[in-house]
Amino acid sequence: MISAMFSLQKFLGKDDQFFALLEASAEETRSSVQHLVELLKTPDQPKGLEDFVLSRRKDKRITEQISEELVKTFFTALEREDIESLSIALYKIPKTVEKFAERFSILAPHLTGVDFSRQAEMMAKAAETLVAMVKQLRDLQHLEKIKELNDRLQYIEGEADKLMVELIRELYNGRYQPMQVIIIKDLYELMEKVIDRCRDAGNVVSQIVLKNS
pLDDT exceeds 80 at position 11 = no
Select the more confidently predicted residue: 89 or 144.
Answer: 89
- Single pTM value for the model: 0.88
The pLDDT score that the predictor gives to residue 1 is 39
Mean pLDDT of the chain: 88
The pLDDT score that the predictor gives to residue 41 is 84
The pLDDT score that the predictor gives to residue 46 is 61
Q: How confident is the model at residue 143 (pLDDT cuts 50, 70, 90)?
A: confident
Find, among 120, 124, 145, 125, the residue nearest to 135 by Cα: 145
Orientation angle between helical segments 50-72 and 17-41, nearest 10 degrees:
170
Q: Domains of the chain, with CATH numbers?
A: 2-212 (1.20.58.220)
Q: What percent of the chain has pLDDT over 70?
A: 91
Average confidence (pLDDT) over 36-43? 86
The pLDDT score that the predictor gives to residue 3 is 39
CA distance 24 to 174: 45
pLDDT exceeds 80 at position 146 = yes
- The DSSP secondary structure of 107-162, one letter per residue, reads HGGG-TT---HHHHHHHHHHHHHHHHHHHGGG-TT-HHHHHHHHHHHHHHHHHHHH
Select the more confidently predicted residue: 78 or 30.
Answer: 30
pLDDT exceeds 50 at position 14 = no
